[in-house]
Amino acid sequence: MEKLTYQQILSLPNGLTVIRILAIPVILFLLFAGGKTLQTVTAMIFLLVALTDTLDGYLARRRKMVTTLGKFLDPLADKLLIVTALIALISARGIPLWMVIVIVGREIAVTGLRGIAMSGGMVISSSLMGKYKTAFEMASIFFLILGGSYLSIDFHQVGLVLLWVALALAVLSGIDYFKKFLKTIII
């Protein structure tokens, strides 16, 4: 077991990941606070927090600060941010419950598969399709939080279209993870 130093725990990449987790209650509170201006602020906060996902990984690799803690916290922060936002958007923006159930179910299943594989000493790494899924989820959540229409663009509809793409990618990448898992246990 790798012993973590204070520098690793308090590194900038890990700090950005923790900020993503700590921002969740703020985003949820603001989402239900109402008002068009406040919703725009909420969407911008979500966007900034979502962008830290790319930044923390980039910084960790570039500065050679990749840690076991970071490998655990980063995907956890992504899942917490996305899942809680999607669940909140069911009542806040009327997104379909079944879509959220499929996406959340996929997240739980893939996390479980990766955990089982890891306990056996095998790693099922993130796929490019899974990364695209996350990007589409975050983009859809951004537009769904904005809601309403600006300059004749219905952001709610844009968000729903992006959510459909995220849903398709969630299902396809979920199938891909199951195939990878089966290959790791059969070999």
Q: What is the CATH number of the domain that holds 47?
A: 1.20.120.1760
Does residue 61 belong to any structural domain of this protein?
Answer: yes
pLDDT at 122: 77
Cα dist from 91 to 88, 155, 160, 186, whole Å: 6, 17, 14, 43
Supply the range of the domain harboring residue 77.
6-186
Tokens 């900034």 correspond to what residue?
A: 48
Does residue 72 belong to any structural domain of this protein?
Answer: yes
Does residue 10 belong to any structural domain of this protein?
Answer: yes
Contact 111, 130 (CB under 8 A): no
Does residue 1 belong to any structural domain of this protein?
Answer: no
Per the structure, the count of domains in the chain is 1
Does residue 126 belong to any structural domain of this protein?
Answer: yes
Q: Which helix (H) or strand (E) holds 141?
A: helix 128-146
Per-residue pLDDT of 123-167, as tens digits, reads 777 788 988 999 999 999 999 999 877 778 899 999 999 999 999
CA–CA gap between residue 94 and residue 121 (Å, rounded)? 42
8-state DSSP, 151: T
Does residue 75 belong to any structural domain of this protein?
Answer: yes
